[in-house]
Structure 1
Amino acid sequence: MKIFKSHRIQFRACYLFMLLLMLGSCDLQEETQKQSYAKQYDYHPIITKKWQASWITTQKVLSEKNAWIAFRKQFEVENVEASTILRIAVDSKYWLYLNGEIILFEGGLKRGPTPNDTYYDEVDLSGKLQKGKNTLALLVWYFGKEGMTHKSSGQAGMIAELYQNGQLMVQTDDTWKAIPHPAYISESADPEPNWRLPESNVVFDAREDISVWTNPKFDDSNWPSAKTLGTGITTPWNNLVKRPIPFWKDSGLKAYENKISFPFISKGDTIKCKLPYNTQATPFLKVNAKAGEKITMLTDNYQGGSEYNVRAEYITKEGEQVHESLGWINGHVMYYVIPEDIEVLDLKYRETGYDTKLAGSIHVDDDFYNQMCKKAVRTLYVTMRDNYMDTPGRERAQWWGDVVLESGEAFYALSRSADALMRKGMLELMNWQRPDSTIFSPMPAGNWNQELPGQMLMSIGYYGFWNYYLNTGDLETIKKVHEPVRRYLSLWKLKDDGTVTIRKGGWTWGDWGDNRDIPLLMNTQYYLALKGYAKMSEAIGRQKETDSVAYLMKGFKTAFNEQFWKRDHYRSKDYKGKTDDRSQGLAVVSGLADSNKYEAIHQVLQTEKHASPYMEKYVLEALYKMGYEDFALRRMKERFSKMVRDTTYTTLWEGWGIGVEGFGGGTTNHAWSGGGLTLLYQYAAGIVPTSPGWETFQVRPQPGFLKHISAVVPTVKGTVKVELKNEETYQLVIEVPVGTKTTIYILSTYERIIVNGEELRPKESEGYKVFEVDSGKYTIKAE
């Protein structure tokens, strides 16, 4: 009978995937990949005209990598009141000056909206031009090598068009001037940055500098004309895709935290300058020196994660001089290695980073969790720039296991400008889908193409794409990724027993650490992917697919429990290691495990502790879902204690230790370790959206042994505030934004519920008194 049942499940599954494939081919109009890419990304453009400018570069042959180019153009303007937009694309980065003043510090995005195309920027210059002659100057940094975050075009170049009131005024052509900047040296002494990074060490020889070349009065008559390479949409840059995220936040030059008395004469020591926290920074110096001395600038993170990252070098000219190295590096301490007898006049730094605010907050009466959240937010922010990163040192790469957790944290901790980074990542992930329907990460990438099946399932599923929609209400993006998600899921086949066949992909990773039950892990992740896909299908009105996937999920859940439940824990047939805590947690949070298994799983999670900080989030969430909030808090404190209590680092680590005690190289800043932040918001404070875009949400606190909780959540509908006092009298103060509703849950053990001074008699459900309120401020007392 059992064999017959398994075959029946397999038949249903095969029927579902045939149906899904047919639905995809019938409902979608055929469209070329390039047309699809352009349609997806060119949203709300300011300038919609076809590109007319030419790509330009230098007449002189450049080095193959790490090339720096100076461009200049002078032009006349009469109307300085007009709306003025500069749209510009480069490979790879640029710094923009207008009439000698810096307008944009590091424009451009690493290449990769698709495997072939290039991002462009739109810079608003309205009100910045002067009547008469104006001078545009650009310094362009061409990486010229592949990395885990960048697909090199293979050609240094720049294209730009200046529009006033929608009319083209200036464009790149052979009237521009262009030279390789002679002060930048393409090669540096070893060690070079590790192979994962497209950036090179930045070496500047001030003896070869071009004085004030960005200023209007600079004489560029001996500069050669730029070399044109092709007009508009042309190889190797191909389609130009509008930048979908903000320009960087720029702090300006700031003094270091430790007080240093200037001036002083260097004794040949390394000067340690303290940054306020782990941050993305560019170092600045002002010195008086002889010509030919080399100053090295790097951070304490220079060899973070066991691999060399990026450093800067400056070779002095004669006399007093200032310099800022333009390639960002990160860490807690900036080191200046300054030769003997150089007079140091000033040392500063500039912090740049993703333009979002640390708008959310959560505070409880146990300071351990406050420090954990503080470090989680700092770790999250330092891993955001062109893309979500695993770490800002060793890789700067958009691994999707990390992205899922990072975006979950961002919805609670950051202002809503952060949502654009997740959207960008989602579209990149699916626009890099290969003809065989596989997807992979990290990407954009020029030197990596391996699929990590488990991470890919998590990315497209309930905690990834669906969570984005739940928090943003951005249905257009869901429509764009739905079909690629369907194609990827169609690669996954079920076995005769009704469970999923494990796809090896390029790297069957699962998680860091030991005792990984890979078949069990991937079956739970597959179910979460189906769950997310079913919800996305329903959201875009594809009811047949929704019903079909729901039917599959029902059969799959039965097969999963038949095959993997072993009386008191889950385990795959051939797995011989200790019980995998990760998989027990994922079985709970996915909904595969029913409540009759909760106590057994709870017992397992008291002794089995194998997950890395990445997977520990799902273990802890399972404890909350099962109702063991006290133990969730205790396990959280036990597992994260070492990194939270550490006083050296303001960020959370990749593993439970750092260096050789850690995983994957042991970096000191990995945002996947911040999952506890999300859990405190969602479970301890109980604040969770229940419909897309926070039109409705619930407040169902599970404070455990915490007595005071105060939380602020910056949602797309406005700010949600919750303050809980869990003492002799239970009091809950909630602020509900305009245009939203919230459902409030109070434990049924309380007999009287008083809302804004009036007694309420709410309905009861599953151990809670439940009632709904509209926008406003509410003080709720339970007695």
Structure 2
Amino acid sequence: MNRFLLLIVTTISLTIGSAANSAAMDWKAHWIWQAKDGPANTWVAFRKEFEMNEVPEKVLANISTDTKYWLWINGEMVLFEGGLARGPHRDGTYYDEVELQPFLKPGKNSLAILVWYWGKTAKTHEDSGKGGLVFSADLGETVLQSDRSWMLKVHPAYDPKSKGLNRSANRPNAMDVKFDARKAMGDWSGKAWYSADYSMDESWKPATEKGVPPAMPWGKLVKRPIPHWNDRGLTDYESLRIGKKKITLPYKNEGKKPVTIFAKLPKNKQITPYLKVNSNGGRTIKIGTDNSWNLINAQYTTKHGVQSFETYSWMSGHAVKYTVPPGVEVQDLQYRWTGLGSITGTFQCSDPFFERLWSMAANTLYICSRDCYMDCPDRERGLWIGDVADQTGAVFYTLGEPGRLLLKKGIDNTIAYQNSDIIQGLAPGFGNYRGKSSELTAQSLQYIDQGIWRYYFNTGDKATLANAYPSVLAYLKLWNMEPSGLPEIRKGYASWVDWGTNPDKKPVEVCWYYIALDAAKKMAMELDKPDDIGWYDERIQSIAANFDKIYWRDGYYGSQGAVKDERVSALAILNGLADPSKYSALLENVLTTEYNASPHMEWIVEEAIMLAGDHAAGLKRMRERYQSQVDDKDLTTLCEKFGKKRGTPNHAWNAPNYVLSRYIAGIAADEVAWKSYHVLPNLAHLTAVKQVVPSVQGDISVDIKLSDKNYTMHLISPAGTKAVVGIPKASIATTVIMVNGSTIWENGTFVDNVSGISWNGESSEHLKFDVASGTWTFTAKAD
């Protein structure tokens, strides 16, 4: 596609997608900051007092900052960490909508905002080059707007040279916090700062007005597309220890050397640590986590007396480490757990191994979700779209609406930051990776199907699909076809397909290209683009006609002379290139014998085994691959790699929960937006499975129990949906099936006995019924 034409198409799509967000706000408020533009890693305190005769029933504030902010009214915290990493598109910034009404009162009111300007472009943040705050709230009688009447002060206790500022662009945008309490400003944001107890001295200056939105460099303001963080408040740790010895508080370091207190968390979380100490001035307490990959730390230097501190730059781990110098008395240690929404899906089963594995995978997904879906919450925090593609399937079994909205945001960000016709691997702030385009061709192709298409199929959000589709078509047209009838291989910045061993790269990318073509064809059909379908069909048919000729090796798929790679055969099953007549050979020769895949593609191998019909073998492989991690009681998340060198202990591309939910519990959508779905369990050795799926139509609840002669399934199906329910033949030799106590099937014959239940047919694996929405209990009995 012509680059200029694509730019026009993309701009129009973005305008349509964000029009409701930006047009609704007629900004009169000013962007404000200190006179100079930064500098980077600056914390600025803002104050504003105002009078109200009465408080309206609703007071919405619209707030935008570069970059993060914390908001108090009348000494009460309204919002902990507002703002999003910048970059809805190249010329825009997100703004928040915040309800203020519960915190306001007639008479004098006081507003305090602390803004942290990062000042660094990397990963998922594009720096504007200027710190800033813009605020507008309709108070009923008047509108409170940011302008030169607001007072500000650069917070002197925060060190702008704290470690982390000069890290490479391949590391997190956020940085360490170094706070010197001897330079602190007292209770400037609390209940005292607007009373006679707090004096605003000459160090507070009137704000400098920097322009009215859409003033550059912040550009057009786009409403935050995801909810504010779920703030659980400060809470106690599970336990505290020094070395192997448990301690209780208060604790005073009476020794001559610093001691490290390990504060145990119930599981790996996104947290901000808190402390309360009694100390002389000038003692430095270091704060980090037990995660060796964690790059965000904090350092607190004490003043004299009793004092408390919470580091606002979040970090992750299974435990927090407080290194306490001699003479300091620790009176309290707590943490604040924040994150996007919560884990609303559940999975339980009769095998504790798989139940714990599902939970670890769910927590991995959750800890890799915040401003964007991340590859990991420690080393990078990057929106690598191949990692997001791995996450996408799991999202619909694990997270509710916030998780779906974060996927939409990721798709919109990726399309907005494409490089000409290239769908890049990272967005928005890191279009170049090590001086090159961030395109990883295999990941970009995977994202078209498992990211963009799967998002649409599970939500029905056609506007997001329409916005992405022109970029999908343009990207797929970058590939040339070889005389063999297969696509040439494109080179991104690296020909990377997986962390694992012995990757057979060319057929892996051919398979991903075929999968992407099929997904794009489905998009064209949904969006009524008949002129594009012929082009897709031509390439799909060419690859299908020639793939076996080039890559079938008498029992498996792969390149001539290459090490046998199970990933190629797995992808051939997923994309339909492998004829079912070859499944038995693939299972025997490669899928159950070769172990080259890393977690990035391991779940695909397990899915292929189950698609090939051997669910027991799929569970066996899953157990073998994840056994050491599940057995490690110190882990509550899943790691980047298998083996002894595990990499980060919480990496996004682990998706066994998707495989367990879709193929063992057997729950999956059959129609866009879960209007129809199926429950076709394959229990293998399990005797009980219980699952809640937070679908876009509402929660689907399935509870299955199996004994020697009885099989029961309790189903709660949301209103407006229809389901196909299957009784698995492998689980029970059924002679009678009842629903809610009435017989519907007996000795091979359907009995039309229950309204809302009809016969769907029989497959090699299930006896199937069409089921209307409602609450149903199926009971199958054997003689």
State if a TM-score over 0.5 links the two structures.
yes
Show the counterpart of 2:311.
Answer: 325
CA displacement 1:47-98 (0-9 Å, x = unmatched): 81322222111136743x2111111122222231242121111111011111
Q: Which moved more, 1:534-543 or 1:612-621?
A: 534-543
Distance 1:137 1:401 in 2: 41
Separation in 1 of the partners of 2:439 and 2:168?
A: 21
1:464 alignment partner, SS class: helix
For residues 558 and 353 of structure 1, do their structure 2 counterparts lie closer, same or farther at Cα, with a shift above 3 Å needed? same
1:498-540 CA deviation, whole Å, 9 max, x = no partner? 1111111112110002211111111111111112112222222
Q: Does 1:687 align with 2:667?
A: yes
Matches within 5 A, 1:755-766: 755-756=739-740, 757-760=742-745, 761=750, 762=759, 764-766=761-763
SS at match of 1:86: strand
Distance between the aligned counterparts of 1:151 and 1:477, measured in 2? 22
Q: Contact 2:260 / 2:322 at 8 angstroms: preserved in 1? A: yes
* 1:227 and 2:208 correspond: yes
Rate the CA distance shift 1:690–1:272 in 2: closer, same or farther, 3 A. Answer: same
- SS state at 1:622 partner: helix
Task: After TM superposition, list the pairs within 5 Å mapping 1:16-27 onto structure 2.
Answer: none
Name the counterpart of 1:249: 230
Instruction: Look up the equivalent residue of 2:61 and give its one-letter code.
Output: L
Preserved CA contact (<8 Å) 1:41 1:244? no
Deviation for aligned residue 1:253: 1.0
Report the equivalent of 1:287. 277
Q: CA deviation at 1:30?
A: 8.8
One of 466, 469, 483 as aligned partner of 1:496 = 483
SS at match of 2:308: strand
**Structure 1 unmatched runs, 5+:** 1-20
8 Å Cα contact 1:297/1:337 also seen in 2: yes
Seen in structure 2, the aligned counterparts of structure 1 residues 446 and 622 have a Cα distance that, compared at 3 Å, is closer
Give distance in 2, aligned partners of 1:253 and 1:159: 29
Structure 1 residues 549-584: Cα deviation after superposition (integer angstroms, max 9, x where no partner): 2453233211222221122111135xx332111111
Equivalent position of 2:119 in the other structure? 144
Residue in 1 that maps onto 2:391: 406
Give the conservation status (yes or no) of the 8 Å contact 1:81–1:127: no
Give the unaligned 5+ runs of structure 2: 241-246, 751-758
Does structure 1 conserve the Cα–Cα contact (< 8 Å) formed by 2:431 and 2:438?
no
How far 1:405 sits from its partner (Å)?
A: 2.1
What is the CA–CA distance in structure 2 between the aligned matches of 1:213 and 1:719, rounded to whole Å?
Answer: 45
Matched-pair contact (CA < 8 Å) for 1:492–1:501: yes
**CA positional deviation for 1:185:** 0.7
Judge conservation of contact 1:193–1:199 (CA < 8 Å) in 2: no
Match of 2:359 among 367, 370, 374: 374
Cα deviation code 1:738-777 (max 9, x no counterpart): 1110112335664544333213324544424332110122
Question: What is the letter of the counterpart of residue 159 of structure 1?
Answer: V
Q: Distance in 1 between matches of 2:584 and 2:707?
A: 27
Residue 11 of structure 1 corresponds to none
**1:661-680 to 2 correspondences below 5 Å:** 661-662=645-646, 666-673=647-654, 675-680=655-660
1:181–1:420 Cα change, 3 Å: same
Q: Structure 1: how far apart are the matches of 2:7 and 2:556?
A: 47
> Is this contact kept in 1: 2:55–2:139, CA < 8 A?
no
Superposition deviation, residue 388 in structure 1: 0.6
Q: Tell me the amino acid that sits aligned with residue 650 of structure 1.
A: T
For residue 185 of structure 2, give the secondary structure of its aligned residue in structure 1. Answer: coil
What is the aligned counterpart of 1:452 among 425, 440, 456?
440
Identify which of 754, 758, 776 aligns with 2:738.
754
Q: 1:338 to 1:237 in 2, by over 3 A?
A: same
1:581 aligns with 2:574: no
| Structure 1 residue aligned with 2:754 | none
CA 1:322/1:515 → structure 2, altered by over 3 Å: closer, same or farther? same
1:709 alignment partner in structure 2? 689
Counterpart-to-counterpart distance in 2, 1:438 and 1:670? 22
**Structure 2 residue 556 is matched with structure 1 residue 541:** no
Measure the CA separation in 2 of the matches of 1:594 and 1:336. Answer: 58
Q: What does residue 423 of structure 1 align with?
A: 408
3-state SS, counterpart of residue 232 of structure 2: strand
For residues 585-607 of structure 1, the C-alpha deviation after alignment (integer angstroms, 9 at most, x for no partner) is 11101111110111111011122
C-alpha separation in 1, matches of 2:67 and 2:478: 35
Helix, strand or coil for the counterpart of 2:231?
strand
Are residues 192 and 145 of structure 1, via their aligned partners in 2, closer, same or farther at CA, if it must alter by over 3 Å?
A: closer
8 Å Cα contact 2:414-2:423 kept in structure 1: no
Identify if the C-alpha distance between structure 1 residues 209 and 450 changes in structure 2 by more than 3 Å, giving closer, same or farther. Answer: same
Q: What is the Cα deviation at residue 734 of structure 1?
A: 2.1
Are the counterparts in 2 of residues 382 and 392 from structure 1 also a CA contact under 8 Å? yes
CA distance in 2, matches of 1:393, 1:312: 14
1:350 aligned partner: 336
Alpha carbons 2:74, 2:103 under 8 Å: kept: no
Residue 450 (structure 1) shift: 1.2
The match for 1:5 is none
CA distance in 2, matches of 1:117, 1:400: 21
> 2:743 corresponds to which letter in structure 1?
E
Alignment partner of 2:16: what SS?
helix
1:59-70 to 2 correspondences below 5 Å = 59=35, 62-63=38-39, 65-70=40-45
CA change 1:493–1:510 in 2 (3 A) is same
Shift of 1:447: 5.9
- Quote how far apart the aligned CAs of 1:178 are: 1.5
Is residue 70–residue 79 contact of structure 2 (8 Å, CA) maintained in 1? yes
Q: In structure 1, what is the equivalent of residue 607 of structure 2? A: 621
Counterpart residue type for residue 315 of structure 2: I
Equivalent in 732, 741, 745 of residue 726 of structure 2: 745
User: Partners of 1:288 and 1:375 in 2: how far apart?
Assistant: 38
Q: 1:498-537 counterparts in 2 under 5 A? A: 498-537=485-524
| Contact 1:56–1:173 (8 Å) recurs in 2 | yes
Q: Residue 210 of structure 1 aligns to which amino acid in structure 2?
A: M
Question: Are the counterparts in 2 of residues 185 and 204 from structure 1 also a CA contact under 8 Å?
Answer: yes
The separation in 1 between residues aligned to 2:378 and 2:250, in whole angstroms, is: 32
Quick check: 1:313 aligned with 2:314? no
Deviation at 1:156, TM superposition (A): 1.2
Aligned counterpart, 2:467: 480
The number of equivalent residue pairs is 743
Match of 1:609 among 562, 571, 595: 595
Aligned partner letter, 2:306: E
Which secondary structure state, in structure 2, belongs to the residue aligned with residue 88 of structure 1? Answer: strand
Aligned match of 2:244: none
Structure 2 residue aligned with 1:128: 103
In the TM superposition, what is the alpha-carbon distance from 1:424 to its structure 2 partner? 0.3
Say whether the 8 Å CA contact 2:424–2:431 is kept in structure 1.
no
Structure 1 position 380, deviation (Å): 1.2
Pair 142,190 (structure 1): closer, same or farther in 2 beyond 3 Å: closer
Give a deviation string over 1:123-169, Cα, whole Å, max 9, x none: 1112432222222211111111122121111111111112245x861
Distance 1:614 1:275 in 2: 27
Q: Which amino acid aligns with 1:170?
A: L
Provide the rounded CA distance (Å) in 1 between the counterparts of 2:28 and 2:16: 20
Higher RCO (CA < 8 A, seq sep 6+): 1
C-alpha distance in structure 2 between counterparts of 1:179 and 1:614, whole Å: 47
